[in-house]
Every structure is written in C-alpha cells, then in structure tokens.
Amino acid sequence: MYKIILAIVFVVFLFDGCATRGEPEYNGNTYNEVKHYEIGTVERIRYVVISDNGTGTFIGGLVGTVLGSMVGEGRGNVLATLGGGLGGAYVGSEVNKANAQELSVKLDNGEHVIVVTKGHKFAVGERVQIIKDGNRVAQVYKLQ
C-alpha cells in the first residue's frame, strides 16, 4: 500500500511540474531576442489536433511500468509490468495530444497567413497580434 501511495504522489508532482499556468511560454534559448509582430483579423478557423511530441508517451510508459511492477509476483509481475508500460505509453500519447486552432488571418498589410495556436480560443472577426520569432510564431493574442 505504501508503494502505491508513493507512486501516486510521484505522478502528481511529475505532472504538476509539467503543467503551465496559462502564461505565455518562450523557448529558453530565444527569450532574450528581439521579436516582431503583425496585426490582422481572423477570417477562418479550423480545429486541428497537435500530435504528441513523445513526452506523453515516455512519461506514460514510465508511470505505467512503475505502477505495473507493484502488481503480482513472479511471471504475473513481469506481465503486469509490461502491460502497465504499454498501456501507460498509449494513454500518455493520447493525453498529450493538444486541441488547437488553425487561424486564417488577413494582416493589416493585405497579406494572408495561417497560424496554428493552442491554449486560446479565437473567433472569426477578432483582431489578433501575431508575435514572430524569426519565421516562427511565438505567440498569438487577442487585441482589445
């Protein structure tokens, strides 16, 4: 019983450390570089799914293996460990998928761009500011 409680506490702290608090997040290598921005109006929205980058699969497999190893004895323990690892990897990859929006934006300069963003909900007709880090999108914000 002690091992199970310890494993649950470990998992909670592990995922709590990975969670963001809703603040913008920048890459640690580029946070101090000058960014450029463009302003435009959202013309179309398409909902998309961003696939797991491998983190969820790894963490899920690790947690599933640890939890599976606490079940059974002998060959049953080996099977539980293997099953826990495989099941955890699958669940972790599904959980780490992110729902996002693909925004078709008409910029104020007349150019049309498409950006993919997650964590914010946009609507057609909203004015947005797209912060660029070179040719990459760093953040997308609604303008008031």
Class of the CATH domain delimited by 28-50+98-144: mainly beta
Global pTM exceeds 0.85: no
Q: How many helices (H) and strands (E) does the chain have?
A: 3, 5
- List the single range of 20-29, 69-78, 87-96 with lowest mean pLDDT: 20-29
1's tokens: 């019983």
Residues paired with residue 44 on neighbouring β-strands, in sequence order: 104
Helix, coil or strand: residue 124: coil
Question: In whole angstroms, what separates CA 1 from the centre of its chain?
Answer: 32
pLDDT of residue 40: 96
Side chain identity at residue 15, one-letter code: F
The 10s digit of each residue's pLDDT in 82-131 is 888 888 888 777 776 667 889 999 999 999 999 998 878 899 999 999 99
The angle subtended at Cα 25 by Cα 23 and Cα 31, nearest 5°, is 130
Res. 144 pLDDT band, cuts 50 70 90: confident
